[in-house]
Amino acid sequence: MNSTSYTKIKGGNLLEGNIDVSGSKNASLQLIAASLLTRETCQLGNIPHLTDVLNMFSILKNLGAQVEQLDRHVWQVSALRVGERVSQEDGSKLRASICLLGALLARNGSAVVALPGGCNLGERPIDLHLRAFEKMGAEVNFSGDYVSLTAKDLHGADFSMMGPRGATVTGTANVVMAAVLAKGETIIRDAACDPEISDLCHFLEKMGASIDGIGTSTLRINGVTSLHGAEFTAQYDRIEAGTFFLMGLLCGKNLKINHINKYHLQGFLDYFGAYKKYFDFQDDFVVVNRCDSLMPANIVAAPHPLFPTDLQPQVTVLCTQAKGNSLVQDKIFPARFLYADELNKMGAGIVKRDGFVEIAGPKSLRGASVQITDLRAGAALVLAGLIAEGETFLDKVIHVDRGYENFEERLRSVGADITRVIA
Ligand code: EPZ
């Protein structure tokens, strides 16, 4: 273990009791960016207390906005004055800083944001974002690690957000935020129709924006001259909910997961129809039990509403317990399999191919020291540690803090033997 803190898990416990899903990280990051679109005060609720969220708020403060935390999960933003430049230091803290481009362009007519680096998911280009902004009248320039946009006359346009691997989520969010204050009508075709984009659009509507087609892949936006303040409560985190659902199938004993919206997870839950006797959905919760007869699967992660790429690493852990050969493919991030090397240190026996992995289950996992390569890989390694024989030590656990609030405490509250060790 070579970092200042790591997480230790002793596997084998069945997890029982109530676990609450937090507010959605990815919806919150977009809502925070959108609060820059008005000079009036916005109040955002159900915002998870995560490092990515805190970093996003600190970027807003550095841009000149007033930011106040009213409660652990409630924030107020008053962007009376807003600068145009997001520094390299700020921008490099999280990918979602790129979501500020559209809001700053709409607010100031110009934006300078550090280019998001690549990461362990593979390439993270923004060509689709920039192509759309150019169609709306923006001039794009690059200088060093920065991209700058200027648009003296930001106007509506008709374009597609489709990329080689499907629609871009933050790209869609970016152009929606530019379009709500652009002159005229914008038609965004092949828009990402993820629930987080719908949250953003509903918040913008409450601020006075005019958006048709919310929840579909064609958004029609009539630009307005200004937006007013509004209050909005973020949806719950469907990726966290899906992670806990898989945890229940792996080691749950009447594990009750509160705040799961099954309509946000249809493409994921469709794969578990054969396991209906192991879970029971009621209203906004589900009770899940360990399944000891998992069958192999062919999982294909693809754009919403299909199986979410952010649950791809976690479902691979489930496949290691299935009796037979499974295949997990990721059409969005074909390089998102670094975690497999770490799972193989635990005896998973995963074979990495180009854009997919093959798993010959079942495999009895054994505890090991493993490295967390990204947020969702971290979640997968936690799931593996919970069912492994012996102790697992997870290094670089700060990645998990980016997307799962107080996850050790919440897992301990349902019986997991998990502790954070400050070395
Ligand atoms: C968002 O990332 C999420 N992040 C990701 O969640 C999520 O995995 C991803 O959408 C896909 O659902 C946030 O919302 C902050 P993309 P994003 O733009 O927007 C290609 C997590 O763990 N592409 O939809 O960056 C790109 O290479 C994170 O919470 C272009 O080609 O993803 C990729 O293959 C991880 N050109 C695909 O599209 C572009 O201009 C999807 O990327 C943009 C993207």
Looking from the CA of residue 173, the nearest atom of ligand 1 is: 19
d(CA 56, CA 53): 5
pLDDT averaged over every residue in the chain? 95
pLDDT score, position 247:
98
For residue 115, what pLDDT band results from cuts at 50, 70 and 90? confident
Task: Name, in order, each residue with C-beta under 8 angstroms of 184's C-beta and a sequence gap of 6 or more.
Answer: 155, 156, 222, 223
Q: What are phi and psi of 381, to 5 degrees?
A: -70, -30
Res. 137: pLDDT tops 60 = yes
Bridge pairing between strands 417-422 and 162-163: unpaired
d(CA 329, CA 244): 21
Q: Which two tokens stand for residue 395?
A: 């290094």
d(CA 203, CA 207): 6
Looking from the CA of residue 168, the nearest atom of ligand 1 is: 24
Looking from the CA of residue 122, the nearest atom of ligand 1 is: 27
Res. 150: pLDDT tops 90 = yes
Res. 2: pLDDT tops 60 = no
CA dihedral of 58, 61, 67, 71, whole degrees rounded to 10: 10
pLDDT score, position 230:
98
Give yes or no for a contact between 264 and 270, defined as CB atoms under 8 angstroms apart.
no
Four-residue CA torsion sign, 91, 308, 251, 357: negative
Give yes or no for a contact between 29 and 62, defined as CB atoms under 8 angstroms apart.
no
Res. 373: pLDDT tops 70 = yes
d(CA 152, CA 288): 55
Catalytic residue among 119, 193, 251, 291: 119
Alpha helices in 223-269 (DSSP H): 238-251, 266-269
Looking from the CA of residue 96, the nearest atom of ligand 1 is: 15
188: nearest Cα among 156, 148, 164, 166: 156
The pLDDT tens digits for 306-339 are 999 999 999 999 999 999 999 999 999 999 999 9
Residues lining ligand 1, judged by CB closer than 6 Å?
25-26, 29, 95-96, 121, 123-129, 163-165, 168-171, 309-310, 332-333, 375-376, 403
Ligand 1 centroid to Cα of residue 8, in Å, is 30
Distances (CA, A) of 118 to 25, 51, 90, 104: 20, 19, 16, 23
Bridge pairing between strands 66-71 and 74-78: antiparallel
Give me the amino acid identity at 284: D
Residue reference for tokens 């481009």: 101
Give me the percent of the chain exceeding a pLDDT of 90. Answer: 88
Ligand 1 centroid to Cα of residue 265, in Å, is 18
Ligand 1 centroid to Cα of residue 12, in Å, is 35
Q: What are phi and psi of 330, to 5 degrees?
A: -125, 110
Mutate to test the pocket of ligand 1, among 134, 170, 196, 336 (most ligand atoms within 8 A of CB): 170
Compute the half-sphere exposure of residue 34: CA atoms within 13 Å on the CB side of its CA.
39
Provide the 8-state DSSP code for 99: G
Ligand 1 centroid to Cα of residue 409, in Å, is 29
Res. 97: pLDDT tops 90 = no
d(CA 262, CA 383): 21
Q: Bigger pLDDT: 311 or 144?
A: 311
Ligand 1 centroid to Cα of residue 396, in Å, is 22
Res. 122: pLDDT tops 80 = no
Contacts of the segment 200-206: beta carbons below 8 A, 24+ positions apart: 200/27, 200/30, 200/31, 200/34, 200/173, 200/176, 201/176, 202/232, 203/31, 203/34, 203/230, 203/232, 204/34, 204/37, 204/176, 204/177, 204/180, 206/230, 206/231, 206/232
Hey, whose CA ends up nearest to atom 5 of ligand 1? 310
For residue 3, what pLDDT band results from cuts at 50, 70 and 90? low
Residue 159 neighbours by CB distance under 10 Å: 18
Looking from the CA of residue 309, the nearest atom of ligand 1 is: 8
pLDDT score, position 50:
94
SS3 call for 316: helix
SS3 call for 221: strand
Compute the half-sphere exposure of residue 120: CA atoms within 13 Å on the CB side of its CA.
16
Ligand 1 centroid to Cα of residue 72, in Å, is 28
Res. 111: pLDDT tops 90 = yes
Ligand 1 centroid to Cα of residue 132, in Å, is 16
Mutate to test the pocket of ligand 1, among 169, 190, 399 (most ligand atoms within 8 A of CB): 169
d(CA 362, CA 365): 9
Q: Bigger pLDDT: 4 or 267?
A: 267
Ligand 1 centroid to Cα of residue 248, in Å, is 27
For residue 118, what pLDDT band results from cuts at 50, 70 and 90? low
pLDDT score, position 124:
78
pLDDT score, position 92:
79
Mutate to test the pocket of ligand 1, among 22, 24, 26, 336 (most ligand atoms within 8 A of CB): 26
pLDDT score, position 199:
98
Provide the 8-state DSSP code for 144: T
Looking from the CA of residue 334, the nearest atom of ligand 1 is: 34
Alpha helices in 35-70 (DSSP H): 51-62
Task: Name, in order, each residue with C-beta under 8 angstroms of 275's C-beta and a sequence gap of 6 or more.
Answer: 249, 291, 294
Hey, whose CA ends up nearest to atom 29 of ligand 1? 26
Provide the 8-state DSSP code for 36: G
Hey, whose CA ends up nearest to atom 31 of ligand 1? 163
Hey, whose CA ends up nearest to atom 4 of ligand 1? 26
Q: Which two tokens stand for residue 69?
A: 């935390």
Q: Bigger pLDDT: 302 or 4?
A: 302
Give me the amino acid identity at 122: G
d(CA 48, CA 21): 10
Give me the amino acid identity at 308: P
Q: Is 119 a catalytic residue?
A: yes
Task: Name, in order, each residue with C-beta under 8 angstroms of 272's C-beta and a sequence gap of 6 or more.
Answer: 245, 249, 279
H or E segment at 31?
A: helix 25-34
Res. 117: pLDDT tops 70 = no
Q: Bigger pLDDT: 399 or 368?
A: 368
The pLDDT tens digits for 192-202 are 999 999 999 99
H or E segment at 129?
A: helix 127-135
pLDDT score, position 345:
98
Q: Per-residue pLDDT averaged across 49-64, rounded?
A: 95
Res. 47: pLDDT tops 90 = yes
